[in-house]
Amino acid sequence: MWKIPSPKRCRDLKRLAVLTSGGDAPGMNAAIRAVARTALARGVEVYGVSKGYSGLVNGDWQCMDRTSVANILQTGGTILKTDRSDAFRDPQVRADTAERLRAAGIEALVVIGGDGSLTGAHRLEEETGFPVIGLPGTIDNDIFGTEDTIGFDTAVNTALESIDKLRDTATSHERVFVVEVMGRSSGFIATSVGIAGGAENIIMPGHPIDFQLICERLNDSLRRRKFSSLIVIAEGEDPQLTSQLTHDLGVAGYPARACILGHVQRGGSPTGHDRVLASYLGSVAVDYLLAGTSNVMVGVRKAEVVTVPLQDIVSNKKVVPDELIDLAQILAT
Ligand SMILES: Nc1ncnc2c1ncn2[C@@H]1O[C@H](COP(=O)(O)OP(=O)(O)OP(=O)(O)O)[C@@H](O)[C@H]1O
Ligand SMILES: O=P(O)(O)OC[C@H]1O[C@](O)(CO)[C@@H](O)[C@@H]1O
Ligand SMILES: [Mg+2]
């Protein structure tokens, strides 16, 4: 488990708001609960904002009490709903939003979301001085400065359930399965699912497909009388890649099927890991706000809960380390 800091309270907060933004991620509810319960325990009122930045822009928020967050720890999705808001990308809209928040007596905001949501949070604080603290909530695990994000562990486990089932049918039919996992332009889900699912090939975003190498590996498997193969492919930027590869394998004489796991990976009850992570981060975020710290994300690094300046998240990209890619490829052969 992670070591938790105890930031020293040095300011009063009467009222804060919390929202979820970007793609939903299992564990967001656990994070909302932790924020609400910790704030209430510290004597701070909590407002839940509906539908991410869309609700924030429109002043769509509700006062929460302890029971508003009862019985949600184990549920997937987000009780606050979420959205991708184009309006919030406009600086004038962000300025108006800060005014609206202040007029409602809201003094700080907790944003639970991915790299895009945290970029928006950073812009809001930089431009308007409105205090914001971020929590990493995304299945993609693509946020700089934190080794883990809320929802990643659950998504990997959900994908693995399917991978294990595909292995059964792949073996029975002596087929290749090309399994596409989410993760946008990052390959964290693909790497973890590939390693944990024993995939014979892992195709990472931004790395060109070496079709000849894939065929050589398939031939090698066949020589070893291994008649099924799973190729895990990260969704990346090209939506045609999975179907194209499946087609090319068929033409080259390897019977293949494609399976795009898609949004299934975003749903479901969060794992214990994600519930604990979300609970720690949500609670510590409130204590940091009370210690006068904002414009940061609360994340985890080297088994410790840490703060990361939002500026660092905006200006750096988190990439899968080369050693991990090498390791995955070694285990795959
Ligand atoms: N550069 C930006 N400036 C202001 N707001 C932004 C910016 N980038 C993203 N946002 C806001 O954050 C929202 C969510 O961003 P995005 O769609 O990238 O998802 P995310 O938070 O990265 O989550 P995930 O990748 O898990 O779906 C956007 O719809 C927009 O409202
Ligand atoms: O739900 P939407 O808007 O289709 O977004 C899908 C994207 O969201 C994520 O699930 C989370 O960022 C990505 O892995 C995926 O590319
Ligand atoms: Mg993102």
Domains of the chain, with CATH numbers? 15-151+270-315 (3.40.50.450), 153-266 (3.40.50.460)
Instruction: For a ligand 1 pocket test, name from 20, 21, 90, 184 the mutation site with the most ligand atoms within 8 angstroms of its C-beta.
Output: 21
Which DSSP string do the residues of 174-187 spell out, in sequence order?
A: T-EEEEEE--TT--
For the CA of 142, the nearest atom of ligand 2: 12
Could you list the beta-strand ranges (E) of the chain.
15-20, 45-49, 61-64, 108-113, 132-136, 176-181, 201-203, 229-234, 256-260, 296-301, 304-309
Overall size of the chain counted in residues: 333
For the CA of 139, the nearest atom of ligand 1: 26
Q: Is 194 annotated as belonging to a binding site?
A: no
Active site positions, annotated: 140
pLDDT at 10 > cutoff 90: yes
pLDDT at 333 > cutoff 80: no
Distance CA 59, CA 99 (A): 11
Q: How much is the pLDDT for 227?
A: 86
DSSP helix/strand/coil, 195: helix
CA 199 to centroid of ligand 1, rounded, Å: 31
C-alpha torsion sign, points 20, 24, 28, 33: positive
Q: Is 314 in the pocket of ligand 1 (CB under 6 A)?
A: no
DSSP bridge partners of 201: 231
Q: Is 198 annotated as belonging to a binding site?
A: yes
For the CA of 54, the nearest atom of ligand 1: 31
Nearest residue by C-alpha to atom 8 in ligand 1: 116
Q: Is 53 in the pocket of ligand 1 (CB under 6 A)?
A: yes
Q: Is 164 annotated as belonging to a binding site?
A: no
Q: How much is the pLDDT for 54?
A: 98
Mean pLDDT in the chain? 97
C-alpha torsion sign, points 249, 254, 255, 261: negative
Place of tokens 């991708």: 84
Closest ligand to C-alpha of residue 137 is 1
Distance CA 56, CA 94 (A): 9
Q: Lowest-confidence range among 22-31, 123-132, 320-329?
A: 320-329
Closest ligand to C-alpha of residue 86 is 1
Closest ligand to C-alpha of residue 23 is 1
Q: Is 89 in the pocket of ligand 1 (CB under 6 A)?
A: yes
Nearest residue by C-alpha to atom 14 in ligand 2: 183
Q: Is 138 in the pocket of ligand 1 (CB under 6 A)?
A: yes
The strands making up 108-113's β-sheet, listed across from edge to edge, are: 61-64, 45-49, 15-20, 108-113, 132-136, 296-301, 304-309
Q: Is 272 annotated as belonging to a binding site?
A: no
Mean pLDDT in residue range 129-157: 98
Distance CA 120, CA 313 (A): 11
Q: How much is the pLDDT for 328?
A: 87
Residue 329: pLDDT band (50, 70, 90) is confident
Q: Is 88 in the pocket of ligand 1 (CB under 6 A)?
A: yes
Q: How much is the pLDDT for 41?
A: 98
Mean pLDDT in residue range 212-234: 93
Locate 204 and state its tokens. Answer: 């990472």
Q: How much is the pLDDT for 161?
A: 98
What is each CA distance from 131 to 65, 185, 211, 235, in whole angstroms?
Answer: 22, 30, 50, 35
C-alpha torsion sign, points 190, 195, 199, 201: positive
Q: Can you list the alpha helix ranges (DSSP code H) found in 207-318?
A: 211-223, 241-251, 272-290, 310-315
CA 141 to centroid of ligand 3, rounded, Å: 9
pTM: 0.98
Mean pLDDT in residue range 318-333: 90
46-104 tens-digit pLDDT = 999 999 999 999 999 999 999 999 999 999 999 999 999 999 999 999 999 999 999 99
Q: Is 271 in the pocket of ligand 1 (CB under 6 A)?
A: no
Q: Is 87 in the pocket of ligand 1 (CB under 6 A)?
A: no
How many C-beta atoms surround the C-beta of residue 1 within 10 A?
8
Q: Lowest-confidence range among 14-28, 76-90, 126-140, 201-215?
A: 201-215
Residues touching ligand 2 (Cβ under 6 Å) are 23, 114, 138-140, 182-184, 235, 266
Q: Are 286 and 110 in contact (CB under 8 A)?
A: yes
Q: How much is the pLDDT for 51?
A: 98
Cβ burial of 133 (10 Å; 0-12, 13-18, 19+) is buried
Q: Which residues contact 159 (CB under 8 A, 6 or more apart)?
A: 179, 181, 189, 193, 197, 261, 265
Percent of the chain with pLDDT over 70: 100
